[in-house]
Amino acid sequence: MAKVKGLRCRECGRDYPLEPIHVCEFCFGPLEVVYDYDQIKSNVSRDKIQKGPPSLWRYLDLLPVDEPSVGLSAGFTPLKRAERLGEALGLRNLYIKDDSVNHPTLSFKDRVVSVALSKAKEFGFDTGACASTGNLANSVASHCAQAGMNCFVFIPANLETQKIIGSLVFEPTVVAVEGTYDDVNRLCSEIASDQGWAFVNINIRPFYAEGSKTLAFEVVEQLGWKAPDAVVVPAASGSLYTKIWKGLKEMKEVGLINEVKTRMYGAQAEGCSPIATAWAEGRDFIKPVRPDTIAKSIAIGNPADGIYALQTAKESGGGWETATDGEIIEAMKLLAETEGIFTETAGGTTVAVLKKLAERGQIDPDELVVVFITGNGYKTLEVLQDEVREPVRISATLKDFKDKVLAKV
């Protein structure tokens, strides 16, 4: 495949062939997909992309897949001008990239899974698997069902009910592990080297991670081929955040845009903020933490891409910030009330961090800002149980309606 050269170790730079492998044999660094940008540049154009399918596969020239076969409808989600949220935050040029309506399982994970499992099919795997904080399990289970693959998903046992049922309905084997996501991940790394399965975020991780770039590609295209001044991105492992940056730089590299001056801001929940804490303390390494937050989808205490996420913040002139559980819930409600978008706790984290950056003047009122909403609020209903008003209960009479409803509004 001419567009992809192979895999390369991020640490020591050793080259590897295009295989389902993810760590360097010499230094244990993570492997990353390397492209032939000259070849891509001669083949890609705005026009060609615009004539492509209304899905993330319109950017196939910049993805490590030959023939997409799984997740053909993922991506190309709305980019919404957020006037009312912008007004509330004092930002005049704010946009929401809304992956809460991604297809088919309502989170950004449908992007990474489409790419990972299409690649896994090309490699000849018949079983898909993952270590998940919830959304990934939903997406892997759905995509294995549509692809007719066997499926095993591993989750921490204390996940939200909606996310557990949202996996079970596709009939995979759901393994609920007593422990944190980091315990699940450690176990899955052992299982991955033991079984011949496509663990999308372990042995297929270099390919999985590339799917996140499509969020950057879409935003740039939807803005009329322009990179934003600043973006706010939620982070668990830090993969999404670093790959949005990679995607922006690639668009410049292959000549689709002339300039990238985007400041990358990362958002974490205060109860699980190993990357943001390292940033605040000026460290270039991560100290793992034990997660304690309602934002379970981004609760990774030992983030695989943490150090690269710190480098990205430095390189782009951005930074990292946190939100408390209370601020997360307030921000979920603010987004719902102003824009009619119901996001989960991860989206609440992102909006809460955006609010802090705006209040502190780290984002200028006229700058072009994009905030990434990566998950859907129907999957974390339980956190709002005591945070929303009760329905007004009445008998089916006009009198009750007038006395108990109209009289009180």
Interface residues with ligand PLP (CB under 6 A) are 107-109, 135, 234-241, 297-298, 344, 346, 374-375
Does 330 bind Zn ion (CB under 5 A)? Our answer is no
Helix (H, G, I), strand (E, B) or coil at 91: coil
Does 6 bind Zn ion (CB under 5 A)? Our answer is no
Nearer to Zn ion, 6 or 29 (CB): 29
| Cβ atoms 134, 296 nearer than 8 A | yes
Cβ 76 to Zn ion shortest distance, Å = 35
In 3D, which of 114, 107, 344 has the Cα closest to residue 209? 114
Nearer to ligand PLP, 121 or 205 (CB): 205
| Cβ atoms 264, 251 nearer than 8 A | no
Nearest residue (beta carbon) to ligand PLP: 375
Nearer to ligand PLP, 82 or 131 (CB): 131
If contact means CB under 5 to 8 A according to the sort of partner, which of ligand PLP, Zn ion, none does residue 114 touch? none
Nearer to ligand PLP, 107 or 293 (CB): 107
Point out which span in 22-30, 70-78, 146-154, 255-263 binds Zn ion (CB under 5 A): 22-30
If contact means CB under 5 to 8 A according to the sort of partner, which of ligand PLP, Zn ion, none does residue 29 touch? Zn ion
CA dist 23 → 11, 211, 278 (Å): 10, 19, 24
Point out which span in 19-27, 83-91, 174-182, 192-200 binds Zn ion (CB under 5 A): 19-27
Nearer to Zn ion, 139 or 242 (CB): 242
In 3D, which of 122, 161, 128, 386 has the Cα closest to residue 296? 161
DSSP 8-state secondary structure symbol assigned to residue 393: P
Q: Residue 397 burial by CB count (10 A; 0-12/13-18/19+): exposed, middle or buried? A: exposed
Nearer to Zn ion, 306 or 318 (CB): 306
Point out which span in 2-10, 55-63, 309-317, 341-349 binds Zn ion (CB under 5 A): 2-10
Nearer to Zn ion, 59 or 308 (CB): 308
Q: How many CB atoms lie within 10 A of CB 249?
A: 17
Cβ 375 to ligand PLP shortest distance, Å = 3
Does 29 bind Zn ion (CB under 5 A)? Our answer is yes
Alpha helices per DSSP H over 173-285: 181-194, 205-210, 213-222, 239-253, 274-280
| Cβ atoms 237, 290 nearer than 8 A | no
**First-to-last CA distance in the chain?**
64
| Residue 303: cis peptide before it, omega within 30 degrees of 0 | no
Cβ 316 to ligand PLP shortest distance, Å = 16
Residues that bind Zn ion (CB under 5 A): 9, 11-12, 14, 24, 26-27, 29
